[in-house]
Structure 1
Amino acid sequence: MPKVTAEHRAARRDEIIDAALRCFLERGMQNTSMSDIIASSGLSAGAIYGHFAGKKEIFVAVAERVLASRSAELEELGRGGFVPSPGEIMATIIRGMSREPFAQVIVQLWGEAAADGETLAMVHSVFLRLRSVLEGGILAWAEANPDRISGTPAEWAQRAAPVVLGFGPGFLLQRALFEEFDVENYIAMLPELLPR
């Protein structure tokens, strides 16, 4: 039997994640079954379960992929010694989220989290990780601008992160609810509202 490469395994996982995303977008996460994901992927049940134990594990993999992309974008933003402001950090995160197919599922997921403890735990876990990434960027800015904050940089970053993070759900909700919502204006205003 030929040996399966790490690249092949990663490609297959991405294929499964993409199939799950299609199902989540069509049916919502709660109404999507593993059978739906298997059918959408065109793979066998064994191929799916060889990579993921179930739907919740696929959700975690999707969230990790999205977080890795946002972290990479923030690293790129900070190259060459540039220290982005909280507004520039959040604009970068939101710009990246606006390109993610998963972003449309997030609002559905929040609704499900309000009624389902297991979904709430997953959403909470992802938000904590995103807040940690955001807090690291805000801390770097606070350390570079100690005259612009109150308290220590670490304390200020910890207090500021949940407030700055709040712009993300505001963006996703308005984009989902209002056809006339101006995505580019929202992103452009963040550095002005949270200036250097």
Structure 2
Amino acid sequence: MPRVSEAHLAARRQQILDAAARCFVRNGFHQTSMQDVIKEAGLSVGAFYRYFKSKNELITAIAGEKISAVTGVLDGFLELDPMPPIPEIMDRLLELVDLASVEDGTVRIAVQVWGEAVHDPEVGALVAEIYGRVRDRAVRTAERAQAAGQLPPDADPVGIGAAFFGLVQGYILQRILLGGIDRQTYVNGVRALLA
């Protein structure tokens, strides 16, 4: 029997994640069953369960994938010398949010995951780990900005990193729940706060 290539396994896994994301965006996390995702992916039950055993595994994989894009951008900025000002970094991160809103709507899943994390300890632990990576990088960004003179020398980088991360989450919530906020207006507000 021929062996299945790693590329085929990765493509099948991505097919499932894309199907799950479409279902979660369209119907919400709780209203989507595993059968809905299996049908959307066009797979047999056995083929599906080879890759994922639960909705929590699906949501964790989707969140991890999206957060990797954010951490990748932050890592890229942290490698630059000099590092750009915080509002520029914020603008780039919010551009990712805008793309996820427009392209496939997956940013809506973030809000669902946050709500689920409050009630489900397993999801809560996964969210804490995944989002903790972003906050850690936000703290490192604040440390670098402070060392470059962009922030006051007596400022607390941990507090600034937490606030920076909260500003990104706030933008997501406002886009999803209220609408009517554009990235440039938001980033200009961040610039004014930092001035």
Q: Same fold (TM over 0.5)?
A: yes
How many pairs does the alignment contain? 191
Q: Secondary structure at the match of 1:148?
A: coil
Given that 1:23 and 1:36 are in contact with CA atoms closer than 8 Å, whether structure 2 keeps it comes out as yes
Structure 1 residue 6: Cα displacement: 2.2
Q: Deviations over 1:27-84 (max 9, x none)?
A: 2112222111111111122222212222111111112211211122234445652313
Equivalent residue number for residue 27 of structure 1 = 27
Structure 1 residue 191: Cα displacement: 4.1
Amino acid at match of 1:194: L
Structure 1 residue 20: Cα displacement: 0.7
Distance of aligned partners of 1:47 and 1:96 in 2 relative to their CA distance in 1, 3 Å threshold: same
Tell whether 2:89 aligns with 1:94.
no
Gaps of 5+ in 2: none
Tell whether 2:124 aligns with 1:131.
no
Structure 1 residue 25: Cα displacement: 0.8
Given that 2:87 and 2:191 are in contact with CA atoms closer than 8 Å, whether structure 1 keeps it comes out as yes
Identity of aligned residues (%): 31
Q: C-alpha separation between the residues in 2 aligned to 1:35 and 1:140? A: 47
Structure 1 residue 10: Cα displacement: 1.9
TM-score, normalised via structure 1 length: 0.82
Equivalent residue number for residue 107 of structure 2 = 103
Q: Secondary structure at the match of 1:16?
A: helix
Q: C-alpha separation between the residues in 2 aligned to 1:2 and 1:132? A: 44
TM-score, normalised via structure 2 length: 0.83
Equivalent residue number for residue 150 of structure 1 = 154
Equivalent residue number for residue 182 of structure 1 = 182
Given that 2:63 and 2:110 are in contact with CA atoms closer than 8 Å, whether structure 1 keeps it comes out as no
Tell whether 2:124 aligns with 1:120.
yes
Amino acid at match of 1:130: V
Amino acid at match of 1:142: Q
Distance of aligned partners of 1:80 and 1:170 in 2 relative to their CA distance in 1, 3 Å threshold: closer
Given that 2:20 and 2:58 are in contact with CA atoms closer than 8 Å, whether structure 1 keeps it comes out as yes
The within-5 A match list for 1:23-102 is 23-78=23-78, 80-100=80-100, 101-102=105-106
Q: C-alpha separation between the residues in 1 aligned to 2:192 and 2:30? A: 38
Q: Deviations over 1:128-149 (max 9, x none)?
A: 1221222222222223338722
Gaps of 5+ in 1: none
Given that 1:87 and 1:193 are in contact with CA atoms closer than 8 Å, whether structure 2 keeps it comes out as no
Q: C-alpha separation between the residues in 1 aligned to 2:96 and 2:79? A: 17
